[in-house]
Structure 1
């Protein structure tokens, strides 16, 4: 009997695939992260993983300068060297289980940030087991990710029909899509294929621009 792949193998494969893509597109390639090139995105990933105390500027505006200084150090090394550094998990997440918890969603979202910045991208056809990993990881972060929703928010997988209440409320909006697409929606990425269903009032009050970090 063949065992199903767990989250750790997926996160390691996702890391390798992102590194391969970064080398393919090069340091100056655009990303879906406003104002960031592939080099900037890679610098963010390295700082977040290896110097997390310097990464607070991503979510706290008054600390932006601190984070930018840390990311700027990456410019003094070659892009290929930085990709090589990122291929191996940093000391804080070297155990496979920690890497899976800390980085599954992060790597999926930023992998798509690079992929979908290209003019001709198509959704990846992930195996069912990998979609399960993404769904579970995104669901664990649901309460935090759904904070911008003023009313209720329910996520639904279109591949299995499974639903997860991200935010309770009397007039919820249902966001439906593949697990990767729902995850991208929750992180505020416009390049995602989801369907939103709900009352006109609920849909009018759902501020999509408020999602993400």
Structure 2
């Protein structure tokens, strides 16, 4: 699996452009649709993506200090800073950031998690279908499964579960089985709701309930 920095950024840049294209024709009502992120609309998530694309190591620390080390509050500040009155202007700003390679002081795999999971946060409520490189989804899933929630991962949500890629049989972890497509597994372990018809196995209800 190619997981070099260059390969990660190529995927992130491509996914940013794909998302921008998917959102180019939204109407006012669609921009206000609640995303899979509790309390955030589709427009809010896009503004968050603009903010994080512009955030480097120094500015991340600065913003976190300004938010008194409250990560969620720092995100809200970032959204307020980048969210335009007209969603089309926020979309234009997002397109302008598509090429950037800035990142907080974190594993580069977090950029894949952000591009894919936030892409689904936006697309799924709108009835849009995302298509992501399988290697990138698997890399993002592996990162989430080995990283604690306090560090932005989802290891605790998958504790006691054996996640299985229904297409290849590849598995992660030990415990009750949860079988699904890698993208649905990634979305679920990232704390987002996934329809029960998308996951199977004796542990599926536990993972769905943890979202």
TM-score of the superposed pair, with normalisation by structure 2: 0.70
Matches within 5 A, 1:126-165: 130-144=133-147, 145-149=154-158, 151-165=159-173
Unaligned runs of 5+ in 1: 1-5
Q: Deviations over 1:52-86 (max 9, x none)?
A: 3436999x7x5544432332122446433332332
Match of 2:46 in 1: 42
Matches within 5 A, 1:11-50: 11-26=12-27, 27-49=31-53, 50=55
Aligned with residue 197 of structure 1, among 199, 202, 206: 202
Matches within 5 A, 1:56-71: 62=70, 64-71=72-79
TM-score of the superposed pair, with normalisation by structure 1: 0.69
Residues 79 and 55 of structure 1, relative CA distance in 2, 3 Å threshold: farther
* Contact 1:14–1:107 (8 Å) recurs in 2: yes
Residues 12 and 63 of structure 1, relative CA distance in 2, 3 Å threshold: closer
**Number of residue pairs matched?**
186
* Contact 2:165–2:181 (8 Å) recurs in 1: yes
* Contact 1:11–1:104 (8 Å) recurs in 2: yes
How far, CA to CA, are the matches of 1:82 and 1:99 in structure 2?
27
Q: CA deviation at 1:8?
A: 3.9
Residues 152 and 37 of structure 1, relative CA distance in 2, 3 Å threshold: same
How far, CA to CA, are the matches of 2:131 and 2:82 in structure 1?
33
Matches within 5 A, 1:54-203: 54=63, 62=70, 64-76=72-84, 78-87=86-95, 88-90=98-100, 92-93=102-103, 101-118=109-126, 121=127, 124=130, 130-144=133-147, 145-149=154-158, 151-165=159-173, 172-192=175-195, 193-198=198-203
